[in-house]
Structure 1
C-alpha cells in the first residue's frame, strides 16, 4: 500500500519506518526542511533502539522516503496518517489541536482518490468528527473516510511493540475503511485477533483511558510504598502479591519518583479536562495528577533528609535524567523537578545519563554533566538513582565508595541491594523498604 505520514516526530517516524519495514511504500512529510534533509540522509533526531538502522535499511530499499511537501504523496496515497504533536494547551490542560486541524485541511486539498485518513495523534473524544467536518469544508469533492487508530508504542520498545502488538485499536464510523485497515495491518495481524474495531469516539477515549489507568497504578504503588515505610512492610513483597493476581498484573507496580514522559502527564491532564467539559468529572485521574506532582517534590525532600536536612553547598550526584530507560526523552521527567528543587536550596548537581545529556543541557542549568557515573559520584555527598538504566545495575560500588565525600545512596527505583551496599559502608535509602538495621558506627537515616 502507499502511505503518507504527516509528521516526523516520535509517532510519525516510528510508524512510518515500521510500516515501510513490513513492505508498504511510505513517505513521511514534515514542513521542517532541515529535518527532512537529515532524515533523507538517515539521521534520526531522537533515540529509539533500532530505529536508525531501520530507517537506513528502508531508505536503501526505496520503501521509505521523506518530503517537505504533501501534495504528491497525499494525492497518490491509499492511506494518510496524521501524526503531528498534540501538546498540552495552556490554561486548561486539554490537548492542543492546532497542528491536527492544519494537517487535516491540507490533506483534504490534495486528495485525488478514495483515501483513508488515520488519526494516530492522541486526541480528545470527538476530534475525528471535527477533522472530518474540516476536511469536507476544505474539499467537498474529496472521497475519504476518517479513522481513529491510536498508537500504543512504548518508548524504548517501540519497534517490538509495532511488530508484536497486544492490540490494534481502530475506530471507524464508515465500513468502507475496514478492508483498507485490514490490508494495512495484514503483515502484523495474520491471525486477525489483534485488530479490534470500535466506534471512532471509543477508540479516541481508549487511548486516554489506557494511559490514565497505568498512571493511576504508578501513583497507587507510590502511595503504598510510603505506607510500607510507616508500617514496616516491604513494598517489594506487596507488589509481588498484587501482581500475581491476574486481575491486576505485575506491570507498573514498581515504586519510583513519579511518572513523566510524553504520554502520561499530558494524557491525564487532557482526560481530566474532557471529563469537566462533558460534566463527568474524572476524580481518580485528578487525584493521580496531584499525587504525581507531590511525589517529585517529596523525592527531593527525601534526598535532603538523607543528607542530614541540609544540602547547601553539597554536591549531589544524579544518575539518570530521562523519564525512563532506553530513550533520550526528558519531557516531564522527575529528574528535572528533583534537580531544580535541590538547586533551589543550594545543592550543586553532577549528573550522568547514557542518552539524555544533550536534551538535558537545553533544560537544566548550572549542572555538571559527566562522562560516566564515576565522575558524577566523585566528591559527592549523596548518590541518587533516578532512572533505572541497565548500566547502573553493575556499578563498581567499591570504587564509588572510595571517591565519595560521604557514602550515601538514595535509590528511587529500588534497583540496588540494600544489604550489599550496607556491607560496603553505604547509608542506603530506597522506596517502601523496611528500616535497615545498620551495623554499629553507621547512621540510620530516618
Structure 2
C-alpha cells in the first residue's frame, strides 16, 4: 500500500518507519525543510531506540522517503495519516487543532482519487467530523473516508509498542475505511494483536480515557506514598501488595515526582475540557490533575527538608532531566518545576542527563549542565535522583560519596534499596519509605528437643 504520513514528530516518524518496515511505500511530509533534509540523510530528530537503524534500512530499500510537499505524498496514496501535534493552548489547556485542520486542507487539495484519511494525532471527540467536513468542503465530490486510529506508544519503547501492540483501535463510519485499515494491520493482527473496531467518536475518546486512567494510578500511588511517610509504611511494599491483584495490576504503581511527558498532562486537561463542554463532571480526573500539580511543589519541599530546611547557597545535583528514561523529551518533565522551585529558594543547580541536555537548555536557565554524573555531583550538598536512566541506576555509590561535599541523597524514584545507600554513608530521603531502617529481627531460638510423649501431649493440649 502507498501511505502518506503528514507530520514527522514523534508519532508520525515512528508510524512512518514502522509502516515502511511492514513493506509499504511510505512518504512522510514535514513543512520544515531542515528536518526533511536530516531525515533524508537518516538522521532522526528524536531519540528513540532502534530508530536510526530502521530509518537507514527502509530509506536504502526505497520504501521510505521524505518531502515538504503534501501533493507528492498524497497523490495516488491509499491512506493518509494525520500525525501532527495538538499542543494545549496556554489560556485554557484545550488542544490546538490548527495543524490538524491545516493537514486536512492540504490532503484535500492533493488527493487524486479515493482516499482513507486516518487521524492518528490525539484529538478531542468530534474532530473526525470536522476533518471530514473540511475535506468535503475543500474538495467537493471527493471519495473520502475519515477514520480514527489513536496511538498507544510509550516513549523509549515506541517501535516495539508499534510492532507488538496490546491492542489496535480503529474508529470508522463506513465499511471502506474499516476494510482498508484491517488490511493495513493484518500482519500485526496475524501476530496476535487484538483489533478493536468502533465508531469514530468512541475511538477518539479511548486514547484520552486510557491516559487519564493511567495518570490516576500514578497520582493515587503518590498520595499513598505521602501517607506511608506519615504512618511509617513502605510504598514499594504497598504497591506490591495491591499490584498483585489482577484487577489492579502492578503497572504505573511506582511512586515518584509526578507524571510528565507529552501525553498525560495534555490529555487529562483535554478530557476535562471536553467533559465541561458536555456538562459532565469528571471529579476523579480533576483530582488527578490537582494532585499531580501539587506533587511538583512537594518534591521541592522534600529536597529542602533533606538539606536541613534550606538550600540557600547550596549546590544541588540533579541526575536525570527527561520525564522518563530512553527519551530526550523534556515536555512537562517534573525536573523543570523542581529545579525552578529550588532556584527560587537560592540553590545552585547542576544537572546531568544522557540524552535530554539539548532540550533541557530550552526550558531551564542558570543551570550547570554536565555529561558525567560524578562531575555533576562534585562538591554537591545534595544529589537528587530524578529519572531512572540505567546510568543513574548503576552509580558507583562509593565514588559518588567521595566527590560530594555532603553525602545526602534524595531518591525520587526509589531506585536504590535504603540499606544499600546508607551502607555507603549517605543520608537518604526516598518516596513513601520509612525515615529509619527496619530493625533487624533476631533469629528465633531453636526449639528444645522433645524427649517424651508426655511433652508432645502437653504441646497438643496447649
Aligned counterparts of 1:23 and 1:233: Cα–Cα separation in 2: 53
1:305-342: CA deviation from partner (whole Å, max 9, x where unpaired): 11011111000010000000000000000000000100
Aligned counterparts of 2:241 and 2:417: Cα–Cα separation in 1: 20
**2:73 corresponds to 1:81:** no
Conservation of the 8 A alpha-carbon contact between 1:422 and 1:438 = no
Return the offset for 1:97.
0.4
Cα 1:438–1:380 change in 2 (3 A) is farther
* Other-structure match for 1:341: 341
Q: Identify the range of structure 1 (273-282 vs 429-438) with the bigger mean alpha-carbon deviation.
A: 429-438
Q: Identify the range of structure 1 (317-326 vs 421-430) with the bigger mean alpha-carbon deviation.
A: 421-430
Return the offset for 1:191.
5.6
Aligned counterparts of 1:362 and 1:127: Cα–Cα separation in 2: 31
Secondary structure of the 2:142 match is coil
* Other-structure match for 1:366: 366
* Other-structure match for 1:209: 209
Structure 2 residue runs without a partner (length 5+): 440-462
TM-score with structure 1 setting the length: 0.97
Aligned counterparts of 1:81 and 1:45: Cα–Cα separation in 2: 19
Secondary structure of the 2:336 match is helix
1:8-36: CA deviation from partner (whole Å, max 9, x where unpaired): 10000010000001100000001111111
Return the offset for 1:90.
2.5
Secondary structure of the 1:93 match is coil
Q: Identify the range of structure 1 (61-70 vs 358-367) with the bigger mean alpha-carbon deviation.
A: 358-367
Conservation of the 8 A alpha-carbon contact between 1:74 and 1:111 = yes
* Other-structure match for 1:252: 252
Return the offset for 1:237.
1.1
Cα 1:227–1:52 change in 2 (3 A) is same
Q: CA RMSD in A?
A: 1.2
Conservation of the 8 A alpha-carbon contact between 2:272 and 2:286 = yes
Structure 1 stretches of 4+ moved >3 Å: none
Secondary structure of the 1:266 match is helix
* Other-structure match for 1:311: 311
Cα 1:257–1:15 change in 2 (3 A) is same
Matched pairs, number? 439
TM-score with structure 2 setting the length: 0.94
Return the offset for 1:72.
2.7
Conservation of the 8 A alpha-carbon contact between 1:111 and 1:143 = no
Return the offset for 1:192.
6.6
1:337-358: CA deviation from partner (whole Å, max 9, x where unpaired): 0001000011001110010011
1:363-422: CA deviation from partner (whole Å, max 9, x where unpaired): 111111112110011100001000001111211111111111111000000011111111
Q: Identify the range of structure 1 (181-190 vs 197-206) with the bigger mean alpha-carbon deviation.
A: 181-190
Conservation of the 8 A alpha-carbon contact between 1:120 and 1:148 = yes
Aligned counterparts of 2:399 and 2:193: Cα–Cα separation in 1: 52
* Other-structure match for 2:61: 61
Cα 1:191–1:417 change in 2 (3 A) is closer
Aligned counterparts of 1:437 and 1:100: Cα–Cα separation in 2: 54
Secondary structure of the 1:207 match is helix
* Other-structure match for 2:460: none
* Other-structure match for 1:390: 390
Aligned counterparts of 1:191 and 1:52: Cα–Cα separation in 2: 24
* Other-structure match for 2:432: 432
* Other-structure match for 2:95: 95
Aligned counterparts of 1:227 and 1:199: Cα–Cα separation in 2: 42
1:88-133: CA deviation from partner (whole Å, max 9, x where unpaired): 0222211110000011011011211111100000000000001001
Aligned counterparts of 1:65 and 1:311: Cα–Cα separation in 2: 52
Aligned counterparts of 1:208 and 1:118: Cα–Cα separation in 2: 17
Secondary structure of the 2:75 match is helix
Equivalent positions of 1:159-308 (< 5 A) are: 159-190=159-190, 194-308=194-308
Structure 1 residue runs without a partner (length 5+): 440-446
* Other-structure match for 2:107: 107
Cα 1:141–1:390 change in 2 (3 A) is same
Conservation of the 8 A alpha-carbon contact between 2:418 and 2:437 = no
Secondary structure of the 1:108 match is helix
Q: Which has the larger radius of gyration?
A: 2
